[in-house]
Amino acid sequence: PAELERLHAVVAAREPDVASALAARYSSAIVGPADGQGSCGSFSQALAAICESKYGVRFVLNKPVHQLVVEDGAVRGAMSRHGDDVETFDADAVVVCAGAGTTALALTAGVYVPIQPLRGYSLTCPVHPSISSESVRSHVIVRPFSLYMTRLGSSLRFTCYGELYPSPPHPSQDSSPAPPTASLVERLSSLVLYVLPDVDRFCDFKSAVAWHGSRPLTPDSHPIVGATCVPSLYINSGHGFNGWREAMHSAQVLAARLAGTDPPGDAYASVYSITRFQPLPNMAKLRPAAKPAA
């Protein structure tokens, strides 16, 4: 008991504002000193700038890909269609990393990728100017609700559950994202107010902005990274809610596969192969005897 009291004092000293705010509902907490948080949007923009300036990467924006181009049994490019305008991008290899839209796009080349969208919800609100940048700096998980609270600069973000949702339609159809389920947004708001009755001490919760995004989830919760049964077609998708955390490692695995080598020092790279889902009936029906490309 004495040791637990000492640890509780350490946690309370690390996050005094959070400790006092949660005191009405909770009496203890666990701190993960190695945990961190950040903005994946800012990270992606900075990485894109480096790729452009240092490695000559060219990004083509506002050109949604609707179909993969298959010639002589191999993927040779991608096609973008806007009204009657069709543009084809030739390629030696194509990597499909379209998130929840991966399944529909890969099917245009005859490859079934077992990915189901899991829609995640969040509420983001501005932190009061009077709140120090040193306050609410930890990534807080409130059990048993699995309510996540994260400080992102001048904002505070609350996230929780996921919602299984139908897969996006074929790329040739209207694939505009469906609006969020209003009852789930209201449920998340009510949960925040229950756990943190005085949340307005930290932020302007009434101005919270609701957001939802589709997390590409595979049956075993592991991503699919590497070659498919169609030559020159690769997949890098299905990371679920671990996309940013696994992004760099997945890129390393994929680069090795594209080069025709094994990822150095990675004994578990084979778990990312799409061949682990070969027993699925739909896959066997599409290409029963095909093997992954080298």
Question: Which among 217, 243, 274 is the end of a domain?
Answer: 217
Give me the pLDDT at residue 285, please. 46
Q: Take residue 143 and report the two structure tokens written for it.
A: 């059990």
Q: Where in the sequence is the domain holding 187, given as residue range(s)?
A: 2-34+117-217
Residues 60 and 165 in one domain: no
The pLDDT value given to residue 288: 42
Q: Considering only CA atoms, which of 156, 151, 142 is closest in space to residue 191?
A: 142
R_g (Cα) of the chain, nearest Å: 23
Q: Which CATH number characterizes residue 201's domain?
A: 3.30.9
CA distance linking residue 108 with residue 171, whole number of Å: 9
Residue finishing a domain among 189, 217, 245: 217
The CA distance from 283 to 288, in Å, is 7
Q: Number of folded domains in the chain?
A: 2
- Give dist(CA 150, CA 186) in Å, integer: 19
Question: What is the CATH number for 56?
Answer: 3.50.50.60
pLDDT greater at residue 198 or residue 228: 228
Q: How far is CA 200 from the centre of its chain?
A: 29
Q: Tell me the pTM.
A: 0.80
Helices (H) and strands (E) in the chain, counts: 7, 11
In a domain, 291, yes or no: no
DSSP 4: H
When pLDDT is cut at 50, 70 and 90, the band that residue 89 belongs to is very high
pLDDT per residue as tens digits for the range 117-151: 999 999 999 999 887 766 666 677 777 788 888 88
